């Protein structure tokens, strides 16, 4: 573990020429630098304190030290310490790819910041944020997507750096004593060319390497009434069931083909089967087939929404892929898939869904926010530039749609 952290820090220190950084304000001095493994327990304590007191973090943002440590050890996560002049740890910051992007390999940056109570009143928030922006630019990121609870000091400080609000995530985190709260997404462009482009850009971040040790797909508490038989709107009889272990590779290939065909997935998504396993480790993976012919119609995956910061969100996100040989045009199945996602989400106890959609995905848009009847079921809560890089289209702006589930499910 120490070797991994040291190797990672050695690489990033050659890029982050602004570190270590000494900052003095109101008579107090702090030093920003890269963290080492031995400092992780103390840094986790800072997060625990913030979560316990509801200072910008929910009660389950980092549920355990192992979860926090594994996050910090990821090759595409930079973990930094903030210390007093005497060397006492008084804060933590991270720089990492935004979870709001369509994939880990993104030009959208995000990060965490927690300060100990002892230095919170010295006005360091803005200075630290400025230094993080410098680091992000050195690393090759195009845009910073900041996130905070509405109307907090952090929100106002980030706005003072030129940020603009691009959306709000409903029920994003579960604050101690205050319950579920929305968060505000703020955007700061760090390069002049922040429009959609067909030229793929790469940051200097190390590649994300998924660790699938101990992961068994569909090892979730399953819905009791499976397989479930019903009919689509066109009267097609279907059977919905959890995917069997020998069907998972087929489903992975369906998602990979969708990505390769430029159908709503980032070009770096589903790169390998391990990426597929890591992405859907907490998911309910369903295979939908024709009840009579047993022909595959679609794969539907329901996951705890990664768009929320909570590790136990009450909102879900759905993913769909269709067989490559499907004779019926995919657009005719879009609404069926959306309805199925909603019903399965309800049955699993989620109160709503967050859906990512490209502004160029005309079929998805026509089935949701542009539909004369269904548009009232969906609300655009955020618009994210360069959310994903889609084959043949390049960088595309993404929308995050929110839809609330009905109280009861038909599944």
Q: What is the pLDDT of residue 56?
A: 82
What average pLDDT score do residues 374-401 get? 91
Fill in the DSSP letter of residue 243: P
Q: What is the pLDDT of residue 68?
A: 95
CATH match of 2-189 with 3.40.630.30: yes
Query: Cβ of 84: how many Cβ atoms within 10 Å?
Result: 16
Model confidence at 43: pLDDT above 90:
yes
Q: What is the pLDDT of residue 341?
A: 93
Q: What is the pLDDT of residue 111?
A: 95
Give the global pTM.
Answer: 0.91
pLDDT digits (tens, 9 = 90+) for 80-130: 999 999 999 999 999 999 999 988 889 999 999 999 999 988 889 889 999
Q: Could you tell me whether strands 78-84 and 89-97 are parallel, antiparallel, or unpaired per DSSP bridges?
A: antiparallel
What average pLDDT score do residues 316-330 get? 77
Under a CB-based contact definition with an 8 Å cutoff, are residues 71 and 86 in contact? no
- Quick one: what percent of the chain has pLDDT higher than 90? 66
Superfamily (CATH) of domain 228-404: Gcn5-related N-acetyltransferase (GNAT) (3.40.630.30)
Domain boundary assignment for the chain: 2-189, 228-404
Model confidence at 141: pLDDT above 70:
yes
Between 46 and 332, where is the model more confident? 46
Q: What is the pLDDT of residue 201?
A: 87
Model confidence at 223: pLDDT above 70:
yes
Per-residue confidence at 63, pLDDT binned at 50, 70, 90? confident
d(CA 22, CA 126): 14
What average pLDDT score do residues 287-313 get? 95
Fill in the DSSP letter of residue 318: E
Lowest mean pLDDT among 69-73, 181-185, 250-254, 371-375: 371-375
Per-residue confidence at 160, pLDDT binned at 50, 70, 90? confident
What average pLDDT score do residues 193-204 get? 76
Q: Helices 2-13 and 65-73 meet at what angle, rounded to 10?
A: 40
What average pLDDT score do residues 154-172 get? 83
d(CA 114, CA 50): 7
Lowest mean pLDDT among 20-29, 114-123, 279-288: 114-123
Q: What is the pLDDT of residue 153?
A: 60
CB-count burial class (<10 Å; 0-12, 13-18, 19+) for 329: exposed
Q: What is the pLDDT of residue 391?
A: 85
Write down the mean pLDDT value for the chain: 90
d(CA 192, CA 350): 40
Under a CB-based contact definition with an 8 Å cutoff, are residues 142 and 189 in contact? yes
Instruction: Kindly write down the DSSP assignment for every residue of 89-150, as one continuous string.
Output: EEEEEEEEE-TTSSSSS-SEEE--EEE-GGGGGGS-HHHHHHHHHHHHHHTT-SEEEEEEET
Model confidence at 280: pLDDT above 90:
yes
Lowest mean pLDDT among 169-183, 232-246, 324-338, 368-382: 324-338
Model confidence at 230: pLDDT above 80:
yes
What average pLDDT score do residues 238-247 get? 97
d(CA 103, CA 159): 26
pLDDT digits (tens, 9 = 90+) for 389-411: 988 888 999 999 999 986 655 55
Q: What is the pLDDT of residue 1?
A: 61
Alpha helices in 350-397 (DSSP H): 362-367
Q: What is the pLDDT of residue 2?
A: 64
Lowest mean pLDDT among 157-161, 226-230, 265-269, 380-384: 157-161
Q: What angle do CA 309, 273, 197 make, to 5 degrees?
A: 65
């Amino acid at each position: 573990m120490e070797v991994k952290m040291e190797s990672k820090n050695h690489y990033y220190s050659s890029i982050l020429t602004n570190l270590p950084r000494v900052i003095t304000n109101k008579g107090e001095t702090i030093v920003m630098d890269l963290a080492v493994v031995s400092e992780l327990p103390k840094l986790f304590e800072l997060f625990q304190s913030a979560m316990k007191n509801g200072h910008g973090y929910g009660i389950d943002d980092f549920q355990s030290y192992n979860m926090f440590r594994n996050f910090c050890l990821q090759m595409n996560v930079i973990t930094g310490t903030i210390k007093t002049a005497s060397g006492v740890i008084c804060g933590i910051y991270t720089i990492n790819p935004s979870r709001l992007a369509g994939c880990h390999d993104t030009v959208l940056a995000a990060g965490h910041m927690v300060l100990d109570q002892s230095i919170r009143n010295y006005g360091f928030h803005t200075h630290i944020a400025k230094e993080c922006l410098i680091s992000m630019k050195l690393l090759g990121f195009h845009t910073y997507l900041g996130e905070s609870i509405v109307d907090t000091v952090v929100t106002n400080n980030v706005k003072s750096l030129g940020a603009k609000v691009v959306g709000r995530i409903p029920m994003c985190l579960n604050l101690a004593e205050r319950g579920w709260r929305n968060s505000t997404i703020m955007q700061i462009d760090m390069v002049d060319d922040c429009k959609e482009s067909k030229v793929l850009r790469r940051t200097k971040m190390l590649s994300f390497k998924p660790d699938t040790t101990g992961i068994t797909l569909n090892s979730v508490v399953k819905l009791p009434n499976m397989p479930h038989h019903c009919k689509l709107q066109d009267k097609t009889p279907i059977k919905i069931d959890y995917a069997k272990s020998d069907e998972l590779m087929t489903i992975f290939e369906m998602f990979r083909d969708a990505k390769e065909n430029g159908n709503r997935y980032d070009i770096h998504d589903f790169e390998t089967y391990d990426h597929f396993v890591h992405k859907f480790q907490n998911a309910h993976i369903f295979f939908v087939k024709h009840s009579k012919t047993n022909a595959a119609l679609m794969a539907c995956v329901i996951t705890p929404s990664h768009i929320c910061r909570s590790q136990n969100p009450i909102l879900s996100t759905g993913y769909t892929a269709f067989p490559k040989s499907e004779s019926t045009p995919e657009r005719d199945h879009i609404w069926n898939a959306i309805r199925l996602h909603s019903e399965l989400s309800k049955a699993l106890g989620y109160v709503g869904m967050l859906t990512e959609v490209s502004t160029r995905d005309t079929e998805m848009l026509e089935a949701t926010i542009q539909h004369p009847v269904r548009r009232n079921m969906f609300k655009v809560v955020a618009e994210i530039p360069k959310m994903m890089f889609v084959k043949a289209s390049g960088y595309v702006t993404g929308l995050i749609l929110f839809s609330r589930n009905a109280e009861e499910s038909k599944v």
